Amino acid sequence: MREYTQLGQPPGGTMGVVREVLFGKVDLDTIATALVLGLRSEDVMFRAIGGSAASAALADSSVVAIEVGGSGRTTENNFDHHSSSGLLAGVTNLSAAAQALERLARLIRYVDELDRGDRRAEQIEGGGYPSLSQLISGMLLVVDSPHLRMEKGLEILRGVLQSGIDPYGSMESILDHIPNARFYAATKREHDRKFEEVCESATWYTTHAGHKLAVVETEWFRAPGALYGKGADIVVAPDLTVAPALEELARLEKGWGGPAHGGICGSPLGRDSGLEMETVAQIVVEKL
């Protein structure tokens, strides 16, 4: 059974996985609510009850209550617009499905703001780590297969949607309840640390043709991508450079080579290059 957590811990409630869905009369609103939240009977127990759910169940956000009380208390995973007992009884006229849709809409607004550049990936309301964007980025650093990336990404978003956690906030409280999420977050944090380290230690040049050249000594294999992301047109790092400078490098030291497309060339395999980094950088500046 796939397990997800919820946002926060309401008074008298419990923090844990979404373990049960309580519902009353089965109608279109009830069905649509489960659909919007991505709830499936193969993942979690569905149980029909008569009347309202017990107050303890309504206060427990590991229990999703659909049309069985807790009106307006959507952060506790209650979706009901009818009058019911409790502090927030009858505070909304939205159907249960519309309440669930509002939660989905907030998640989509977060994605939209990121996609349009209106929000920074690391921006987190209330502080903490990681943001939803950072969590997804960590997954992409770990998972290579496009099909698995889609599957794991959906796994994360289902966890966010079903838990009720605010997509604009920190994802810390759901990391232990989404498979590998804590590993994704740790991988992203280490990637960001190395990214900053490489960018700070790089030396920047402008080539004869006006290209931005970044030179750095590092064994981190993601260094070129990091520097390209900082605006470099050309990156020189151990075992990596570009084809137009290859002829001169090979003349100075045997063993330099690269693939036929000429986009990348590297220092001699199996041993350290005898050329100084300053020499390599100067050749690239002059030849490119």
pLDDT in tens, 39-76: 888 888 999 999 999 999 999 988 999 999 998 889 89
Q: Cα(242)–Cα(224) distance, rounded to whole angstroms?
A: 11
Mean pLDDT computed over every residue of the chain: 81
pTM over 0.85: no
Query: What is the pLDDT at residue 171?
Result: 95
Q: Cα(250)–Cα(252) distance, rounded to whole angstroms?
A: 5
Query: What is the pLDDT at residue 196?
Result: 80
Query: What is the pLDDT at residue 136?
Result: 94
Chain centre distance of CA 47: 33
The average pLDDT across 210-223 equals 79
